């Protein structure tokens, strides 16, 4: 049914940047980030070369799950401004050539949403069946997504006199997606934001949308997910759905549905195996990842990331590799969460070592797909383990070395969350302005990586081929798209290595790398790579 032509697909060449409005920039001095502040900071994002902004939920919410507990689908939480401020932000982003996608949370609402309030108050309310109720919780309960914080998935409600189902926190009752009235409402929500001019949605908790309450993953052709995909495609030829589905390798393919489903999915496999390869200094794991990642329809696209607003979950890796990563990167219990994840940012996990950070990012930018950055990671921000759960990685953006990191002019005790101060990752040292002054800073490195990425469509669109490098610590791969041919070489080891990779041409030009390398060889290229060294090389016909 789709008439999208592959060359038109903007998301294949996009550079996505994820923002939590609450912690990005405070424009009115009340200590809370807002749309006015974010609008002022759009030039930072345009300067970096970002082409698409993904906003975490900013809708009215009791904010017990960072806004994923939505109380009104049609508004902006007054703490972040008005709907007018949002539209002005959108206009200014688009004026700078940036598209905006927003989080779409349809699996559940907040328990404060008027639908749930009506549902719990009256058994005969038409809203009762918007949610899932039982007199007794079923004998077999699906595990809650937040072990250690929640005990089960059925919660007794006094007002209702029944139990309701919640896959996530107990204050996030699951919507009954089988109810056509719910679907009608959600279509209106999607249509509303599309009319305002957004370019798509990051779809929260996708596997749970096609799951039956009994928990067996049934790919139901009648599930709302497919209806939603068709709806978005009919309303706009350009809007995308970017799905969050951390599922085993056999499953992600189904969400692209032969080009009729979602356009993008987060590449949890690539992300997991990148961390595995870094900790083991083993390129073989990256080759494994590329074997495991399923082939997808040409309309579809993987989205590559290293960190985001949630805990780092490495459950796609073999257990022994996960164990090594935990031992190396989250040695302390306080760094771990939900018996599976790590509540740290990238930079401290890699010891604040810029070369290793560059290596990690270089892999992310050169694995096939569209890169997405978590705000603050472009300057190597740290985490605050004194914060609850995942709030550790959601501290205010560090703009300058002024009080409150230039995030807000409010009294420090009024800030939505304290800024990270002192030590290696404090705002006094790690901030945007400081990095602007230093040509070799991480931020300027990210800007150059993005520039190179944008100049070469092979990164977003190319077919990938793993190249034998003789050395198990050196990962070599090629990306080919049309007349664009890129050769990438990464040394995962901390010591220098000699890499030998087959090349079809003597026409080679290094575009990027930790330094300039001599490109020697005809049929084979031999590179003396530094420890954690990397090179992006263009092959010319």
495 touches 535 (CB < 8 A): no
Where in 87-106 is the site for ligand NOJ (CB under 6 A)? 105
Verify binding: residue 268, ligand NOJ, rule CB under 6 A.
no
479 touches 488 (CB < 8 A): yes
In whole angstroms, the minimum distance from the beta carbon of 150 to ligand NOJ comes to 11
Residue nearest to Ca ion (CB): 34
Verify binding: residue 204, ligand NOJ, rule CB under 6 A.
yes
Which runs of consecutive H residues, i.e. helices, occur in 128-244? Answer: 180-196, 206-209, 224-235
Q: Which residues have a Cβ under 8 Å from the Cβ of 387 and sit 6 or more positions away?
A: 394, 395, 417
Identify which of residues 73 and 168 has a Cβ nearer to ligand NOJ in the complex. 168
Identify which of residues 282 and 419 has a Cβ nearer to Ca ion in the complex. 419
C-alpha to C-alpha distance for 57 and 66, rounded to whole angstroms: 8
The site partner of 105 among ligand NOJ, Ca ion, none (C-beta below 5 to 8 Å per kind) is ligand NOJ
The site partner of 494 among Ca ion, ligand NOJ, none (C-beta below 5 to 8 Å per kind) is none
Residue 204 annotated among the catalytic residues of the structure: yes
Catalytic residue among 69, 172, 244, 530: 244
The site partner of 30 among Ca ion, ligand NOJ, none (C-beta below 5 to 8 Å per kind) is Ca ion
**CA triplet 476, 481, 486: central angle to 5 degrees?**
30
In whole angstroms, the minimum distance from the beta carbon of 245 to ligand NOJ comes to 11
Identify which of residues 78 and 221 has a Cβ nearer to Ca ion in the complex. 78
Q: Which residues pair with 104 in a beta bridge?
A: 203
CB neighbour class for 145 (10 Å; exposed up to 12, middle 13-18, buried from 19): middle
Which candidate, 251, 317, 323, 73, places its Cα nearest to that of 175?
A: 73
C-alpha to C-alpha distance for 46 and 491, rounded to whole angstroms: 31
Q: What are phi and psi of 476, to 5 degrees?
A: -120, 135
The site partner of 133 among ligand NOJ, Ca ion, none (C-beta below 5 to 8 Å per kind) is none
The site partner of 34 among Ca ion, ligand NOJ, none (C-beta below 5 to 8 Å per kind) is Ca ion
The site partner of 254 among ligand NOJ, Ca ion, none (C-beta below 5 to 8 Å per kind) is none
In whole angstroms, the minimum distance from the beta carbon of 229 to ligand NOJ comes to 19
Verify binding: residue 310, ligand NOJ, rule CB under 6 A.
yes
Residue 383 annotated among the catalytic residues of the structure: no
- The token pair at 324 is 């090594």
The site partner of 205 among ligand NOJ, Ca ion, none (C-beta below 5 to 8 Å per kind) is ligand NOJ
Q: Which residues have a Cβ under 8 Å from the Cβ of 401 and sit 6 or more positions away?
A: 427, 428, 429, 431, 433, 434
In whole angstroms, the minimum distance from the beta carbon of 408 to ligand NOJ comes to 23
In whole angstroms, the minimum distance from the beta carbon of 404 to Ca ion comes to 12
260 touches 1 (CB < 8 A): yes
C-alpha to C-alpha distance for 261 and 301, rounded to whole angstroms: 11
Identify which of residues 56 and 269 has a Cβ nearer to Ca ion in the complex. 56
**Which DSSP letter does residue 201 get?**
E
Interface mask toward ligand NOJ for 48-87; x: CB under 6 A: -----------------x--x-------------------
C-alpha to C-alpha distance for 88 and 304, rounded to whole angstroms: 29
Binding site for Ca ion (CB under 5 A): 26, 28, 30, 32, 34
Catalytic residue among 22, 111, 174, 204: 204
17-28 burial, b for 16+ CB within 10 Å, e for fewer?
A: bbbbbbbbbbbe
Verify binding: residue 142, ligand NOJ, rule CB under 6 A.
no
In whole angstroms, the minimum distance from the beta carbon of 407 to Ca ion comes to 10
In whole angstroms, the minimum distance from the beta carbon of 168 to ligand NOJ comes to 4
Interface mask toward ligand NOJ for 439-478; x: CB under 6 A: ----------------------------------------
Residue nearest to ligand NOJ (CB): 68
Verify binding: residue 278, ligand NOJ, rule CB under 6 A.
no
Binding-site member from 116, 130, 168, 517 for ligand NOJ (CB under 6 A): 168
Identify which of residues 66 and 199 has a Cβ nearer to ligand NOJ in the complex. 66
- The token pair at 151 is 């005990």
Binding-site member from 205, 282, 474, 535 for ligand NOJ (CB under 6 A): 205
The site partner of 397 among ligand NOJ, Ca ion, none (C-beta below 5 to 8 Å per kind) is none
Identify which of residues 37 and 200 has a Cβ nearer to Ca ion in the complex. 37
Residue showing tokens 């305002």: 196
Which candidate, 404, 423, 425, places its Cα nearest to that of 415?
A: 404
The count of chain residues that interact with ligand NOJ, using the rule CB under 6 A, is 8
C-alpha to C-alpha distance for 225 and 210, rounded to whole angstroms: 7
Q: What number of helices (H) and strands (E) belong to the chain?
A: 17, 21
60 touches 73 (CB < 8 A): no
C-alpha to C-alpha distance for 368 and 114, rounded to whole angstroms: 43
The site partner of 383 among ligand NOJ, Ca ion, none (C-beta below 5 to 8 Å per kind) is none
The three-state secondary structure class of 202 is: strand
Chain positions contacting ligand NOJ, by CB under 6 A: 65, 68, 105, 168, 204-205, 309-310
Catalogue the active-site residues: 204, 244
């Amino acid at each position: 049914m789709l008439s999208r032509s592959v060359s038109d697909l903007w998301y294949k060449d996009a550079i996505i940047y994820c923002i939590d409005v609450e912690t990005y920039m405070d424009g009115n001095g009340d200590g809370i980030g807002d749309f006015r502040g974010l609008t002022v900071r759009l030039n930072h994002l345009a300067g970096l070369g970002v082409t698409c902004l993904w906003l975490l939920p900013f809708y009215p919410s009791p904010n017990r799950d960072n806004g994923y507990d939505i109380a009104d689908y049609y508004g902006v939480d007054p703490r972040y401004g008005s709907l007018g401020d949002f539209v002005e932000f959108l206009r200014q982003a688009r004026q700078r050539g940036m598209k905006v996608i927003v989080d779409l949370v349809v699996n559940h609402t907040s328990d404060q949403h008027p639908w749930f309030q009506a549902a719990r108050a009256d058994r005969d309310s038409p809203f009762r069946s918007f949610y899932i109720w039982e007199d007794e919780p079923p004998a077999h309960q699906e595990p809650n997504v937040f072990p250690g914080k929640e005990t089960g998935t059925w919660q007794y409600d006094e007002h209702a006199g029944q139990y309701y189902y919640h896959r996530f926190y107990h204050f996030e009752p699951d919507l009954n997606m089988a109810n056509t009235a719910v679907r009608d409402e959600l279509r209106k929500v999607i249509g509303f934001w599309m009319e305002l001019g957004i370019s798509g949605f990051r779809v929260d908790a996708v596997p749970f949308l096609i799951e039956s309450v009994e928990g067996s993953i049934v790919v139901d052709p009648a599930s709302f997910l497919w209806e939603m995909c068709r709806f978005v495609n009919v309303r706009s030829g350009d809007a995308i759905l970017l799905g969050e589905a951390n599922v085993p390798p056999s499953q992600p393919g189904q969400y692209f549905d032969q080009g009729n489903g979602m356009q993008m999915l987060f590449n949890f496999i690539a992300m997991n195996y990148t961390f595995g390869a870094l900790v083991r200094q083993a390129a073989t794991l990256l080759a494994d990842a590329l074997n495991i990642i399923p082939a997808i329809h040409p309309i579809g696209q993987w989205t590559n990331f290293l960190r985001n607003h949630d805990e780092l979950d490495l459950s796609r890796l073999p257990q022994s590799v996960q164990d090594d990563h935990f031992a190396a990167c989250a040695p302390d219990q306080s760094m771990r969460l939900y018996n599976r994840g790590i509540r740290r940012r990238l930079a401290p996990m890699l010891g604040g070592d810029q070369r290793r950070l560059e290596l990690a990012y270089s892999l992310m930018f050169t694995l096939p797909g569209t890169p997405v950055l978590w705000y603050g990671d472009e300057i190597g921000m740290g985490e605050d383990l004194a914060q609850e759960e995942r709030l550790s990685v959601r501290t205010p953006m560090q703009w300058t070395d002024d009080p409150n990191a230039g995030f807000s002019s409010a009294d420090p005790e009024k800030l939505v969350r304290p800024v990270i101060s002192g030590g290696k990752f404090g705002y006094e040292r790690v901030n945007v302005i400081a990095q602007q002054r230093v040509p070799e800073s991480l931020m300027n490195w990210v800007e150059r990586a993005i520039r190179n990425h944008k100049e070469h469509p092979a990164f977003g669109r190319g077919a990938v081929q793993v190249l034998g490098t003789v050395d198990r610590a050196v990962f070599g791969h090629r990306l080919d798209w049309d007349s664009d041919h890129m050769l990438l070489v990464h040394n995962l080891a901390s010591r220098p290595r000699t890499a030998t990779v087959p090349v079809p041409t003597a026409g080679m030009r290094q575009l990027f790398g930790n330094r300039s390398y001599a490109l020697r060889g005809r049929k084979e290229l031999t590179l003396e790579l530094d420890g954690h060294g990397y090179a992006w090389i263009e092959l010319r016909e």
